[in-house]
């Protein structure tokens, strides 16, 4: 169990700089009284992530099960 956990944390840590940059940019836009731009950027990110998951997913059934459980 330790090896998969370490592998997961190593892969997740690669995305940490992007998350920090995103949060910092949201703060900058909020300081400029512009809250629509980060909302659009987050929406585009979510759509892109979903489309990439559809393209590269091996199991469509698993994806729909996960989506249904997230709605509960």
Q: What six digits make up the tokens of 41?
A: 């950027």
Return the closest-CA partner of residue 42 out of 27, 56, 24, 22. Answer: 22
Of 47, 50, 48, 45, residue with least CA distance to 67: 50
pTM of the model: 0.55
pLDDT digits (tens, 9 = 90+) for 20-39: 988 898 889 889 999 899 88
d(CA 44, CA 37): 11
pLDDT bracket for residue 62 (50, 70, 90)? low
- Better-predicted residue by pLDDT, 64 or 5: 5
């Amino acid at each position: 169990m330790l090896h998969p956990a370490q592998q997961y944390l190593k892969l997740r840590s690669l995305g940490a700089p992007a998350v920090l940059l995103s949060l910092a940019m949201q703060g900058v836009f909020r300081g400029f009284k512009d809250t629509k731009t980060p909302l659009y950027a987050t929406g585009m990110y979510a759509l892109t992530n979903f489309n990439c998951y559809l393209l590269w997913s091996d199991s469509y059934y698993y994806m729909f099960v996960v989506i249904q459980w997230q709605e509960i």
